[in-house]
Amino acid sequence: MKFLYKQLLAFFLVIIVTIGATGIIFARFLVTNIYEEKEEQLFGYAEAVIDENMTLREVENGIDMISKQDVMLAMYNSQDQLIYPVVERNYASGLAPKDLSLLQKGERISLKERDRGFMNEEMSLVTVYLPLFNTATGSFSGFVAVASPVSGIQNDISNMRSGIQLAILLSGVIAILFSIGFANYLSRRIIRMRRATNEITQGNFEIHLDNFGRDEFDELSGDFNLMVDSLKNSQIEIERQESLRRQFMMDVAHEMRTPLTTLNGILEGWEHDMIPERSRKRSVEIMQNETRRMIRMVNENLDYEKIRSAQVVLVKQAIPCLATLTAVKEQLMKKAASKGNAVHVSVSSPDLTVYADYDRFIQILVNLINNAIQFTENGTITLTAHAEVDYTVIKVSDTGIGMAENELPAIWERFYKTDPSRKNNKYGESGIGLAIVKSLIDSHNGKIEVESARDKGTTFTIKFPKELNEKN
Ligand SMILES: Nc1ncnc2c1ncn2[C@@H]1O[C@H](COP(=O)(O)OP(=O)(O)O)[C@@H](O)[C@H]1O
Ligand SMILES: [Mg+2]
């Protein structure tokens, strides 16, 4: 069954039960009211007629007064004999002995229905009875009966009934119209959400539902919008990953092509005996270099993936800066000297330490210093270290060719080289070095920054959190 119909059914049930219950209660209440009113009215007439020391004449006057009101009156003596209206035959009131004794005790008898008139004529009456006492002696002297035809009450009741029925009908129709409108409104909101969901299924993430914060439907719309946003972001991320993957495959293919072409060329030369005797040693050297380059590239890529996927376990320790920087300098001195570069080390305090994984720390330094050597000729490379409040800071500066401002953001990407012609250099050259450095620094919770100016030089600043901060 459709939600709309379910709601309508629920509304109808509630409306019918409510109206039915209130109708019944109300009708009951009104019927009792009508009877009570009648009783009061009849007692009122009786009291208006009866007075102390009443003469028959006076009673007749009183009766004249009330006979217009569709009311009958009868008087009985203490022996339960009709004394007014005056007739030949003797009629009794027909009251039970129990009621008679109540009257003798001075109590009134409230509304009673009877199906005979006072003189046994055929008619339905409602009657009240009032005792009379002799004012002189105080003894029971008879009672008065005041009656009104039942048809009067029944008229009132049926008038009231049709009034209530009309009210129930009207309010029922109004309530049903309202509930149809309301149920329609709710299901339209649901339909709107369904349509939006369908749009999303078809890949439209621009969809947005109105949210006025009024009710649960609005809350649902809000959640729906959040869901759309997050779906949209995942979609963007999927596309980004896909384009990264494609770029990576292209880069790898590109990087492999040059060495493989070189190898192939030399091998073909060998096959056709086209390599002169004196070049043979040299060509083997070239082949070795190219294969080593490829192996290095493959290893660097594997290393990068491992660091990125947090498969590398860092064994952090306090490393003395002065000794370590000096050792790295010694290791790379020859390479630097071959390009006419001098290397200086300057550490703010001989006790300064850096909290890092030793092998990875060396790897970072070697990468940065190799770059500095690679892009500097007849210049100076400076390694410095000092402490800040939360970090140990190490800088690698050179006086080489530098980089333009707009190149800086991209240098951390894999395979990025500011100038494609730098490709076939002896060191680095596949563009992975800085990507690895960045990932390593990230896994140390450190920071890396670069400042550079064309033909002035470059400074890489790396910051490692101090041991104290790392452990908290
Ligand atoms: N000290 C430097 N001076 C000038 N350019 C640099 C320096 N270090 C890095 N670069 C630029 O950043 C690029 C990326 O460096 P890197 O990731 O180490 O790759 P690779 O050394 O394999 O080229 C280099 O190709 C170079 O263009
Ligand atoms: Mg490099």
- What tens digit of pLDDT does each residue of 364-395 get? 999 999 999 999 999 999 999 999 999 999 99
326 CA distance to ligand 1 middle (Å): 23
Least confident of 80-94, 142-156, 214-228, 425-439: 425-439
Q: Under CATH, which number does the domain 1-204 receive?
A: 3.30.450.20
Q: Could you tell me which residue, 332 or 426, shows the higher pLDDT? A: 332
Ligand 1 contact via 448 beta carbon (within 6 Å): no
User: How many CB atoms sit inside 10 A of residue 425's CB?
Assistant: 11
Phi, psi of 141 (to 5 degrees): -115, 0
Say whether pLDDT at 5 is over 90. no
Q: Please give the pLDDT value at position 471.
A: 63
User: What number does the ligand 1 atom closest to the CA of 434 have?
Assistant: 17
Residue 256 CA, chain-centre distance (Å), reads: 51
pLDDT classification of 198: cutoffs 50, 70, 90: very high
Q: Please give the pLDDT value at position 417.
A: 78
Burial readout 138-147 (b: 16 or more C-beta within 10 A, e: otherwise) = eebebbbbbb
User: What number does the ligand 1 atom closest to the CA of 436 have?
Assistant: 17
Per residue in 162-189, pLDDT (tens digit) is 998 898 899 889 988 998 998 899 889 8
Give dist(CA 103, CA 112) in Å, integer. 14
273 CA distance to ligand 1 middle (Å): 39
Task: Tell me the mean pLDDT in the region 250-275.
Answer: 91
Say whether pLDDT at 441 is over 90. yes
Ligand 1 contact via 459 beta carbon (within 6 Å): no
User: What number does the ligand 1 atom closest to the CA of 429 have?
Assistant: 22
Cα separations in angstroms, 141 against 47, 53, 195, 229, 267? 16, 11, 90, 97, 151
pLDDT classification of 123: cutoffs 50, 70, 90: confident
Say whether pLDDT at 96 is over 70. yes
Residue 22 CA, chain-centre distance (Å), reads: 40
Least confident of 68-82, 280-294, 424-438: 424-438
336 CA distance to ligand 1 middle (Å): 16
Ligand 1 contact via 422 beta carbon (within 6 Å): yes
Q: Please give the pLDDT value at position 56.
A: 57
431 CA distance to ligand 1 middle (Å): 7
Q: Please give the pLDDT value at position 112.
A: 85
In this structure, the residue with its CA closest to atom 1 of ligand 1 is 372
Per residue in 40-69, pLDDT (tens digit) is 988 888 887 776 556 556 666 666 666 666
Ligand 1 contact via 375 beta carbon (within 6 Å): yes
Task: Tell me the mean pLDDT in the region 345-362.
Answer: 96
Q: Which of 303, 375, 381, 412 for a ligand 1 pocket mutation test, highest count of atoms within 8 Å of Cβ?
A: 375
Q: Please give the pLDDT value at position 378.
A: 96
Q: Please give the pLDDT value at position 154.
A: 87
- Asked if the domains at 224-303 and 313-471 fall in one CATH topology, the answer is no
In this structure, the residue with its CA closest to atom 9 of ligand 1 is 371
Amino acid at 33: N
Topology of the domain covering 224-303: Helix Hairpins (1.10.287)
Task: Tell me the mean pLDDT in the region 224-238.
Answer: 94
Q: Could you tell me which residue, 35 or 422, shows the higher pLDDT? A: 35
Say whether pLDDT at 265 is over 80. yes
As given in the structure block, the two tokens for residue 103 are 């009257």
Burial readout 364-376 (b: 16 or more C-beta within 10 A, e: otherwise) = bbebbbbbbbbbb
Q: Please give the pLDDT value at position 456.
A: 95
In this structure, the residue with its CA closest to atom 13 of ligand 1 is 417
Q: Please give the pLDDT value at position 429.
A: 67
Question: How does the average pLDDT of the chain come out, rounded?
Answer: 89
Q: Could you tell me which residue, 330 or 424, shows the higher pLDDT? A: 330
Place of tokens 């004394």: 83
In this structure, the residue with its CA closest to atom 19 of ligand 1 is 431
Residue 391 CA, chain-centre distance (Å), reads: 42
Q: Please give the pLDDT value at position 398.
A: 97
Ligand 1 contact via 430 beta carbon (within 6 Å): yes
User: What number does the ligand 1 atom closest to the CA of 372 have?
Assistant: 1
Least confident of 151-155, 197-201, 403-407: 151-155
Q: Under CATH, which number does the domain 313-471 receive?
A: 3.30.565.10
Ligand 1 contact via 399 beta carbon (within 6 Å): no
Give the residue extent of every domain in the chain.
1-204, 224-303, 313-471
Per-residue DSSP letter, 48 = H
Of 61, 53, 113, nearest to 84 (Cα)?
A: 61
